[in-house]
Amino acid sequence: CTDYDFSQIEPHWQKIWDENKTFRTTNDTSKPKFYVLDMFPYPSGSGLHIGHPEGYTATDIITRAKRAQGQNVLHPIGWDAFGLPAEQHAVKTGAHPATNTQANIAAFRRQLKALGFAYDWDRQVDTTDPKYYKWTQWIFLQLFKRGLAYVDERPVWWCPELRTVLANEEVIDGKSEVGQFPVERRNLRQWVLRITAYAERLLADLAQVDWPDSTKRMQEAWIGRSEGAEIVFSLEPGTPAAASSPEGLKVFTTRPDTLYGATYMVIAPEHPLVDALTTPENRDAVAAYRKQAAAKSDLDRTDLAKDKSGIFSGSHAINPVNGARIPIWIADYVLMGYGTGAIMAVPAHDQRDWEFAKKFSLPIIPVVQSPAGVEVDLEKASFEADGTMVNSAEFDGLPVEDAKKKITAKLAAQNRGKPTVNYKLRDWLFSRQRYWGEPFPIVWVSEADYKKAAATRAADLPPQPVTYTDSETKQALYALPLPERALPLTLPEIQNYLPSGTGESPLANATDWLEIWFNTATGEAVPAAQPKPAGDEWARARRETNTMPQWAGSCWYYLRYLDPQNENAIADPALLKYWGVPDLYVGGAEHAVLHLLYARFWHKVLFDIGVVPQNEPFTKLFHQGIILGEDGEKMSKSRGNTVNPDDIIKTHGADSLRLYLMFLGPLEAMKPWNPQGIEGVHRFLQKVWREIISREGGINPKISDDAKDSDELVKLLHETIKKVTDDIEGLRFNTAISAMMIFINALQKAPAASTATVRAFIQLLAPFAPHMTAELWSRLGETGPVLDAPWPKYDPAKLVATEQKIVIQVNGKKRGEIMMPVGATQDTVLAAARENPDAQPHLAGKEIKKVIYVPGRILNLVVG
Ligand code: ANZ
């Protein structure tokens, strides 16, 4: 076959790579390592999205180039396969979610192989494989025993009609996605991870990583460090409120300077002092208000655009600096989860407070004067910027920053306040009421059984026991971890994937798995329906019915690739040391906070307990840009503007698709899909083919071992090697492709080319278009993969021009051009000019009166 037939070439080479395991990575520690990581996909039912091969092609190019450059490259892939869609599918079909998940994984694998990616398929990980989630559970136990996991009542979306908890994405405009039934907030016992204990390090260590600035900023904002003060207001003396809470009301403020401007206070509807502060005549109204607030999400409550609501408690507080008596309100724009759940309201200098004060006719007292020239109208809005203090007794005239310090110091001296730091970051809600997730390796036992077990298993237990009170039996239950040797705790088979109807996951229906006699020493279990086995260490227990969120498995998968079959550890410490963390991580910017923050948190815990030798997981991060539809809109099924990689592979081949994805624009840019563009890169590949392969199917006769390359071609080859090498390193794939396009045009024009030059060009193109180059490589008589030939090196000396173009001017007019060796003398240039066919007629028979030579550029002749 003489033509470029990708439909034959691509499957042919894919088969060879598969059979020979060409991309297997050995742990050859004698070589320098390079670990390049993709964000592993969720194997959805709809197959690969065009955004996947964009990032994956980029990392594949890096992989192939680095391997040719002599590095030991690790480029693995796996499956982030727990999650809601598979569970919903199971509810619909009654089939186990694993069945559908495995079918989707097979489809994804086929698609990735059809793109020719150089993955080491022996290192696949699958988060739903018990051999994998054994270690997810193991990490959870490490968190648990360090007191970093606890249980708490937290609100979830509850649909009374469906009798189930819904995930955020299943609630649309306050209704269930399925059936459009009303939903409400309901408190459920949940597992929570203490990520806030790492807030300071998660913030500070961003300085150590090479990440896009925008992503660092997003993590900083998410962690949200605020410096301020805690201030204690006493309650109005002589009132029942003061009697019941002599410790007063503590607030967090970032603006202690504005204390003299506090005209009322607000506590969150969930604040523990609500009952104590509500006077009898306000009770009914407060109860109604609390109910209303409970139905709203935090986002709704703090939305600046939403109307403020609130209710007076009937009680007053005393301002510690001036003794002013100010009313205490209950309002949902104050959240219980932040600071102390109570604020001092300063309507003159905080817009939320200003809106509230306007609505409820509360006083507005300015305490910060704007700088000269800045107009402030407190009738129209608050003034939040800096200025100097007024109406603030001895602090008048101070700049805001000074007043913050001095007022905090004064409060501290009176034991009424102290400087504090607060974080927006909340502890991580780590449980889902779902079947298709990792089971928690936890059982609930009585206090007595816990204490008995604690005597022998103290090292497995947290400093403080994790407990809760069962709402039906009123019994206190204690969280006892499974011993490590009992892992993994696998998901039981169940008949019905519908939720239990009580708010618990479908696991609550798996009675024999759930209600057990539990051997507290070994972790063995027998159904509670059977007689209790003999022995003191058997306790009556109930398993945890929550499962872990999908984020869990993706928090540490990059470590498992190093040693995916290890049964005794996450990975062998020697391999953790050699491979370390990824040198490059490529994935979407949509993961800027959750995944990338959760993984950093787990990694730091693993670092603290000596499992990993580095403090940060992802030293260098890069986000590929979103590919928009042809219409410039985001691709989505509903818009009908998606592109299926399979279709392009069929019409133009995988190499064209890869090249096209990289040629669309800078990797990080958002760019629209353009069907004409694919034709362009496809023609480029056809041209490469035709330049190297003759019509008869042999090598183009102009290419031979002893052909002499022109100086120009040699120079261009070395320029192309330098450009492609540097551009791959800098992830500038589009300009690397342009350079190769320029080279192929020059090759087309050249009358002859050496095999060595053509071979080097094929090597440069190989990371981008691996199938076609594999075929060309073998037709040139090479054996073994292109990647095993050392990457071409450029010779800096060859980059320098050996000849220069010199313009010949006669009496001020351009009369010709000549190519001269660099450094030619005036006499040599003049001699050549006299011979030049264009200039000669203007010089013949004339006397040269004057010669002005600008070296390397112009020869100016004045003739008479
Ligand atoms: C008085 C004040 C005066 C405030 C002023 C601001 C401006 P950041 O920067 O986000 O940390 N606040 C404190 N706890 C809150 C809660 N649980 N729910 C809602 N708002 C809360 O914001 C801290 C400021 O947000 C605090 O400073 C408090 O209002 C409010 F001119 O106190 B400030």
Residue 799: which residues within 8 A CB-CB, separation 6 or more? 715, 718, 719, 722
Would you state the structure tokens that stand for residue 695, as one six-digit string? 């019509």
Q: Are residues 352 and 451 in the same domain?
A: no
Question: How many angstroms separate the CA atoms of 684 and 586, rounded?
Answer: 27
Separation of 261 CA from ligand 1 center, angstroms? 14
Decide if 576 is inside a domain: no
Q: Are residues 683 and 757 in the same domain?
A: yes
Closest ligand 1 atom to residue 336 Cα is: 17
Binding residues: 637
Please identify, among 546, 569, 586, the residue that sits at the C-terminal boundary of a domain.
546
Asked if residue 159 has pLDDT above 90, the reply is no
State mean pLDDT over 244-256.
Answer: 96
For the stretch 559-596, pLDDT in tens is 999 999 999 999 999 999 999 999 999 999 999 898 99
Q: Are residues 765 and 632 in the same domain?
A: yes
Q: Are residues 56 and 112 in the same domain?
A: yes
Local confidence band at 157 (pLDDT 50, 70, 90 cut-offs): confident
Separation of 688 CA from ligand 1 center, angstroms? 64
Helix ranges (H only) for 119-223 are 130-145, 199-204, 213-223
Decide if 603 is inside a domain: no
Decide if 700 is inside a domain: yes
256 lines ligand 1 (CB under 6 A): no
Separation of 356 CA from ligand 1 center, angstroms? 14
Say which residue, 463 or 844, is predicted with more confidence.
463
Decide if 145 is inside a domain: no
Asked if residue 509 has pLDDT above 60, the reply is yes
Question: How many angstroms separate the CA atoms of 120 and 75, rounded?
Answer: 6
Q: Are residues 114 and 173 in the same domain?
A: no
Phi first, then psi, for residue 654 (nearest 5°) are: -65, -40
State mean pLDDT over 99-124.
Answer: 97
For ligand 1, atom 33, the nearest C-alpha belongs to 253
Asked if residue 80 has pLDDT above 70, the reply is yes
Q: Are residues 364 and 460 in the same domain?
A: no
Q: Are residues 416 and 280 in the same domain?
A: yes
Local confidence band at 785 (pLDDT 50, 70, 90 cut-offs): very high
For ligand 1, atom 14, the nearest C-alpha belongs to 339
Decide if 618 is inside a domain: no
Helix axes 645-652, 97-114, angle to 10 degrees: 30
Q: So what's the pLDDT on residue 297?
A: 79
Would you state the structure tokens that stand for residue 377, as one six-digit string? 């109208």
Asked if residue 1 has pLDDT above 50, the reply is no
255 lines ligand 1 (CB under 6 A): yes
Residue whose pair of structure tokens reads 């699958």 in the numeric block: 126
556 lines ligand 1 (CB under 6 A): no
Q: Are residues 796 and 808 in the same domain?
A: no
Do 536 and 521 touch, CB atoms closer than 8 A? no
pLDDT, the chain, mean: 94
352 lines ligand 1 (CB under 6 A): no
Q: So what's the pLDDT on residue 179?
A: 84
343 lines ligand 1 (CB under 6 A): yes
Write the burial class of residue 435 (CB in 10 Å: 0-12 exposed, 13-18 middle, 19+ buried).
Answer: buried
**Could you tell me the CATH number of the domain that includes residue 271?**
3.90.740.10
Asked if residue 220 has pLDDT above 50, the reply is yes
Would you state the structure tokens that stand for residue 648, as one six-digit string? 């392009």
Would you state the structure tokens that stand for residue 128, as one six-digit string? 């739903």
461 lines ligand 1 (CB under 6 A): no
State mean pLDDT over 77-93.
Answer: 91
Q: So what's the pLDDT on residue 192?
A: 95
Helix ranges (H only) for 229-321 are 240-244, 274-277, 283-294, 298-302
State mean pLDDT over 600-628.
Answer: 97
Asked if residue 419 has pLDDT above 80, the reply is yes
Helix ranges (H only) for 190-282 are 199-204, 213-223, 240-244, 274-277
Separation of 786 CA from ligand 1 center, angstroms? 62
For the stretch 817-831, pLDDT in tens is 998 988 889 999 999
Separation of 847 CA from ligand 1 center, angstroms? 91
Decide if 599 is inside a domain: no
Would you state the structure tokens that stand for residue 515, as one six-digit string? 């209600």
Separation of 702 CA from ligand 1 center, angstroms? 77
Separation of 252 CA from ligand 1 center, angstroms? 7
ipTM of the complex: 0.96
Phi first, then psi, for residue 749 (nearest 5°) are: -75, -25
Residues in the chain: 864
Decide if 202 is inside a domain: no
266 lines ligand 1 (CB under 6 A): no
For ligand 1, atom 19, the nearest C-alpha belongs to 334
State mean pLDDT over 120-145.
Answer: 98
For the stretch 166-193, pLDDT in tens is 877 788 888 888 789 998 888 889 999 9
Q: Which of 350, 368, 400 to mutate to test the pocket of ligand 1 (most atoms within 8 A of CB)?
A: 350
Q: Which of 255, 257, 266 to mutate to test the pocket of ligand 1 (most atoms within 8 A of CB)?
A: 255
Do 650 and 694 touch, CB atoms closer than 8 A? no
State mean pLDDT over 266-292.
Answer: 96
Q: Which domain holds residue 813?
A: 801-863
For the stretch 695-706, pLDDT in tens is 888 999 999 999
**Could you tell me the CATH number of the domain that includes residue 807?**
3.10.20.590
**DSSP one-letter string for 471-503:** TTT--EEEEEEPPGGG---PPPP-S--S--SSS
Please identify, among 546, 565, 597, the residue that sits at the C-terminal boundary of a domain.
546
As for how many domains the chain has, the answer is 5
For ligand 1, atom 10, the nearest C-alpha belongs to 226
**Could you tell me the CATH number of the domain that includes residue 122?**
1.10.730.10
In eight-state DSSP terms, residue 670 is -
Segment among 141-155, 309-323, 495-509, 524-538 with least mean pLDDT: 495-509
252 lines ligand 1 (CB under 6 A): yes
Local confidence band at 472 (pLDDT 50, 70, 90 cut-offs): confident
Question: How many angstroms separate the CA atoms of 476 and 270, rounded?
Answer: 24
Separation of 486 CA from ligand 1 center, angstroms? 48
Question: How many angstroms separate the CA atoms of 580 and 574, rounded?
Answer: 9
Say which residue, 185 or 646, is predicted with more confidence.
646
Closest ligand 1 atom to residue 368 Cα is: 31
Element (H, E) at 64: helix 51-68
For ligand 1, atom 32, the nearest C-alpha belongs to 253
For the stretch 379-408, pLDDT in tens is 999 999 999 999 999 999 999 999 999 999
Q: Are residues 271 and 410 in the same domain?
A: yes
State mean pLDDT over 444-448.
Answer: 97
Neighbours of 644 (CB within 10 A): 14
Decide if 340 is inside a domain: yes
Binding residues for ATP: 637
Please identify, among 546, 578, 598, the residue that sits at the C-terminal boundary of a domain.
546
pTM of this structure: 0.87
Buried b (16+ CB within 10 A) or exposed e, 769-794: bbbbbbbbbeeeebeebbbebebbeb
338 lines ligand 1 (CB under 6 A): yes
Would you state the structure tokens that stand for residue 37, as one six-digit string? 């990581």
Asked if residue 2 has pLDDT above 70, the reply is no
Q: So what's the pLDDT on residue 23?
A: 96
344 lines ligand 1 (CB under 6 A): yes
Q: Are residues 119 and 263 in the same domain?
A: no
Question: How many angstroms separate the CA atoms of 684 and 678, rounded?
Answer: 10
Q: Are residues 256 and 399 in the same domain?
A: yes
Q: Are residues 154 and 111 in the same domain?
A: no
Separation of 599 CA from ligand 1 center, angstroms? 30
Phi first, then psi, for residue 73 (nearest 5°) are: -105, 130
Separation of 149 CA from ligand 1 center, angstroms? 28
Separation of 343 CA from ligand 1 center, angstroms? 7
806 lines ligand 1 (CB under 6 A): no
Residue 689: which residues within 8 A CB-CB, separation 6 or more? 3, 4, 772, 776
State mean pLDDT over 71-91.
Answer: 93
Asked if residue 16 has pLDDT above 90, the reply is yes
258 lines ligand 1 (CB under 6 A): yes
257 lines ligand 1 (CB under 6 A): no
